[in-house]
A = this chain, B = another copy of it.
Amino acid sequence: MPTRQRAHFINSLSGFKSANLIGTQDVNGQTNLAIFSSVVHLGASPALVGFIMRPDNNDRHTLDNISMSKQYTINQVSADFYEKAHQTSARYPREKSEFDEVGLSTFHLDSINAPFVKESRLKYAVTLKEILPIPLNNTLFVIGEITDVICDQEVIENDGYIDIESLQTVSVSGLDSYHTSQRLSRLSYAKPNINPHEINDKLK
């Protein structure tokens, strides 16, 4: 397969992917924003999250900022700004901020050395813990600990589950397809020889 066709094909195989904007800044406060579809949950305690980065391309600005500041934000992409989120993947020069270029707004917390996306309805600050090299294809697995979560209280259900569908959080398939979701159901914790039942632990 030609390179581009192969990229579309192989990128489709893993299934639906998360859509997140990662916000960073350099020592001079120059902000950067980039979309990633590889953010993955690593564990709840400690609260760890990882993502894959290619140091040889556009991700470079994000990597340099994270390496220096040790902090970044992860911001879920929702249906009302997914086109702007996609546009952050264009190759802007280092001195341009993708926030300005695509028309998204920064939001800051005093204690966090990285910009949040104001428009994102579920976002969190992360402190870098480790960068694991993957020599097989020269990528990096960047792992951080979640320190501060910003989310509307009313979408957090009684058991802790966050109804990200109600936030219109999107998913990605392949390289460039964006999707909203339609819940089939939440299923009870699986036990041998008992069929799972639908659970409903709705909002307070």
Binding site for B on A (CB under 8 A): 1, 3-20, 37-50, 52, 54, 74, 76-77, 79, 82-83, 86-92, 101, 122, 124, 129-130, 132, 134, 136-137, 139, 141, 143, 146, 149, 156-157, 159-162, 164-165, 169-171, 173-196, 199
- Identify which of B11, B143, B156 contacts A41 (C-beta below 8 A): B11
**A37 contact set on B, CB distance < 8 A:** 41
A99 to B190, CA, bound (A): 15
Contact between chains at B44 and A41 (CB < 8 Å): no
Please indicate which of the listed interface residues A11, A171, A193 has the most CB atoms of chain B within 10 Å of its own CB.
Answer: A171
Closest to A145 in B: B136
- The A contact surface, by secondary structure, is mixed
Copies of this polypeptide in the complex: 2
Other A-B pairs, 4, CB within 8 Å; known A8-B157, A12-B162, A16-B170 = A6-B47, A13-B124, A16-B171, A87-B195
> Given A184-B79, A187-B178, A195-B87 in contact, is the A44-B6 Cβ separation under 8 Å?
yes
